[in-house]
Amino acid sequence: MPLFLRLTALTCGLFLLVILQASGYIRPPVPLPPPEIEMQTEWSPEELQKPPNIIILLSEAFWDITQIKSLHFSEDPAPMFHALQEKFTHGTLLSPMFGGGTANVELEVLTGHSMRFFPEDSTPYEQYIKQPTASLASLLSEQGYATTAISPFYHWFFNSSEVYKHLGFSRFISLEYFNPDEYVGPYIGDHAVVRRIIEETERSPGADFIFANTMENHYHYWPGKFKKNHIEVKGHLSNTAKGIAETYAQGMSGADRALQELILHFSRLKEPTIVVFFGDHLPSLEKLQVYKESNYIGGEDDPDFLEKMHNTPVVIWSNYLPKESKEELHMSPSFLGPYVLNLAKRPGSPYTDYLSDLYRKMPVLPPKAYYEAMNIDVNLVKQYEDRQKAILELEKQAAAASAPGAVHGDTTGAAGGVDAYSEDASNAVSAGGASDTVNGDAVAGSDASNATGRADAAGSDVSSAAAEAGTADNSDVNPAAGRAGMADNSPSGSTGTGDASDTAGNTAPDNSDVNPAAAEAGMADNSSSGSTGTGDASDTAGSAGAAGGDTKGKPFILGYGEPLIERVSPASLTVGGDTFGRSQLTIHGGRYGLGCTVFINGEAQQTTWQSESSLSVNLPKTLTTHAGTLDVQVRVVDSKNRVLAASRLVKIPVQEKKH
């Protein structure tokens, strides 16, 4: 070939390469198998006697899209998950939700209470969990576990900071404590959640119970959500549906890589550990479009809709349990907590023991319309409903009895059974008939069992976005946008100018603007003291140990507590700033995240996040026009401009220029 033609071909090739790179195209990599997990195989009897770490990771909208057999993927979106399925306990959870409603699935897993017995379309986190509530966290806390909740979304969403406190967690790490460089698409990446799980287990010397959920693969799934897609999907789909499927598969891949990182870490540790990984609900895939076009379902009236659209995957891995203990599961999420307690050989409670026994008789609780087809014993359902309602009502009354200003005295059995997990409280309703009234008070939600299981408020992905993602118009809005100091994913942004100094240092966020929904009878409280008598509740109402999740006297830390200022550079400023009239301060300390904003003289400043240990601000000229002193402080501010925590004040002098 003549030299001219060879040069021309080379030039064209290089030009094409530049074009492809500029377009963000990346050739799908050759599928690789997940790494072989090499676990510690020799455990001493002493090591096996230690309480195991229990880590429950709720993966947002995780579902195995490869179950749609008419679709073909350029690579396996979840090789780690599939490898774990082959070797460890796995199966499905019959989720009460579709397309949204994560908090309701959380409630089932953590408390053992079923959403079938709450009013349809309700969100108990926002409406009923208004006081200490028995949960896995409170139960394990009493056994010496460090209990941590992690969620990379706003602390106020679903009233989470208050709810997790009521459930007995000692720490809650929310979006405000993640970093602006940890976004993957419009949400915090799953890797960042796993990082904090690992950090928290390293922080505590003993056993950990961690409940974490993720956001990377949250609705929406329109093309362009992620900067680059590595997975190509083929099938008889429109271009729109194909793009949605590829976006979801990309997010699924991110969840799988995070799972791999988590398993690899604990496989190398000589700490007995159980990891539970599950999906909370199926993704909407934009109003069922992908499901319909791929012929996975015929529509919402598909006779197999419940089976196909409400069963989410679960896998349970451990680094110490014998592999022959592998099981195949099919259960409601409300039975998962008791199952894990038994697996970990941790003491349960009368309620969790009851649920364990019920699981063997009735592993799933479907919507009422499916009772006959699935051979559900209505008497077992009635007993479950009665017990749940009675426990919730007893806990509510116990909290009322222990509230400031409450008149303590004979509660005629109402607050005498303050231990929601006590034998008396559990057995009190075993015969049925106590479901309608408890001490004469009507119990809310007396018949919610006819819920269809599609309890998504809007019946589509709309509620997933508007009711769960917090973006009212379903548009691709960065959930961090508008947050004081870190808008639009950038490390700097407007922080607002409101003076929040009057609330500085208040580590208990004000949730007054979050739905205060009345604590309706039968749903709100959960205290526990072990007292089962009917006498004076005054000596038991405030002693709600682990079973009740009462946090009185127990610390609850939001994020990492108060931010620290170790030093500020420069240590002093000059009047008028530098040669160009500029003045900049760098604050060194930690632990700084999305919510950290620098305040000077009580006013929020535009803050640039540099790292977890440093923030910087460019000072307005008005602050250095005269000699004086600047009060510098770092506050953790949420998206509603409420101060969650504040550092100490550091004084920086502004001095006249030396001549």
User: Which of 407 and 478 is assigned the larger pLDDT?
Assistant: 407
Only one residue has tokens 């094409």, namely 16
How large a percentage of the chain has pLDDT more than 70?
71
For residues 181 and 338, give the distance between their C-alpha atoms in angstroms, rounded to a whole number.
37
pLDDT for the residue 436? 34
Read off the pLDDT of residues 561-571 as tens digits, 9 standing for 90 and up: 999 999 999 99
pLDDT exceeds 70 at position 643 = yes
Amino acid at position 427, single letter: N
3-state percent breakdown (helix, strand, coil) of the chain, nearest 5 = 30, 15, 50
Do 194 and 258 form a contact (C-beta atoms < 8 A)?
A: yes
Read off the pLDDT of residues 312-353 as tens digits, 9 standing for 90 and up: 999 999 999 987 779 999 999 999 999 999 999 999 999 999
pLDDT for the residue 553? 56
pLDDT exceeds 50 at position 159 = yes
Least confident of 117-131, 450-464, 576-590, 612-626: 450-464
What the block records as the tokens of 332 is: 């409601």
pLDDT for the residue 3? 52
Read off the pLDDT of residues 44-75 as tens digits, 9 standing for 90 and up: 888 889 999 999 999 999 999 999 999 999 99
pLDDT exceeds 60 at position 456 = no
What would the mean pLDDT of 594-622 be, rounded to a whole number?
A: 97
- Report how far apart, in Å, the C-alpha atoms of 296 and of each of 163, 267, 452, 519 are: 37, 37, 20, 41
pLDDT exceeds 90 at position 77 = yes
For residues 92 and 86, give the distance between their C-alpha atoms in angstroms, rounded to a whole number.
14
pTM: 0.77
Residue 420: helix, strand or coil by DSSP?
coil
Helices (H), 3-52: 3-22, 45-48
pLDDT for the residue 403? 81
pLDDT exceeds 80 at position 207 = yes
Do 488 and 639 form a contact (C-beta atoms < 8 A)?
A: no
pLDDT exceeds 90 at position 481 = no
Among residues 563, 553, 541, which one has the least CA distance to residue 643? Answer: 563
User: Whole-number mean pLDDT of the chain?
Assistant: 79
What the block records as the tokens of 281 is: 């609900």
What would the mean pLDDT of 498-511 be, rounded to a whole number?
A: 35
Peptide bond just before 570 cis, omega within 30 deg: yes
For residues 549 and 551, give the distance between their C-alpha atoms in angstroms, rounded to a whole number.
6
Structure confidence at residue 16 as a pLDDT band (50, 70, 90)? very low
Q: Which residues contact 277 (CB under 8 A, 6 or more apart)?
A: 57, 59, 62, 81, 84, 259, 314, 315, 316, 317
What would the mean pLDDT of 405-424 be, rounded to a whole number?
A: 44
Only one residue has tokens 């496989």, namely 267
pLDDT for the residue 419? 43
User: Which of 136 and 414 is assigned the larger pLDDT?
Assistant: 136
Burial of 420 from C-beta contacts in 10 A (0-12 / 13-18 / 19+): buried
Among residues 276, 226, 282, 280, which one has the least CA distance to residue 254? Answer: 226
Structure confidence at residue 453 as a pLDDT band (50, 70, 90)? very low
> Which range has the top average pLDDT, 371-380, 518-527, 551-560?
371-380
What the block records as the tokens of 127 is: 């409406």
pLDDT for the residue 42? 83
Among residues 231, 150, 230, which one has the least CA distance to residue 197? Answer: 150
> Could you say which DSSP state residue 489 is in?
G
What would the mean pLDDT of 612-625 be, rounded to a whole number?
A: 95
pLDDT for the residue 551? 45
Q: Which residues contact 341 (CB under 8 A, 6 or more apart)?
A: 136, 139, 347, 348, 352, 356
pLDDT for the residue 37? 64
For residues 576 and 313, give the distance between their C-alpha atoms in angstroms, rounded to a whole number.
62
For residues 291 and 296, give the distance between their C-alpha atoms in angstroms, rounded to a whole number.
5
For residues 528 and 518, give the distance between their C-alpha atoms in angstroms, rounded to a whole number.
22
pLDDT for the residue 320? 92
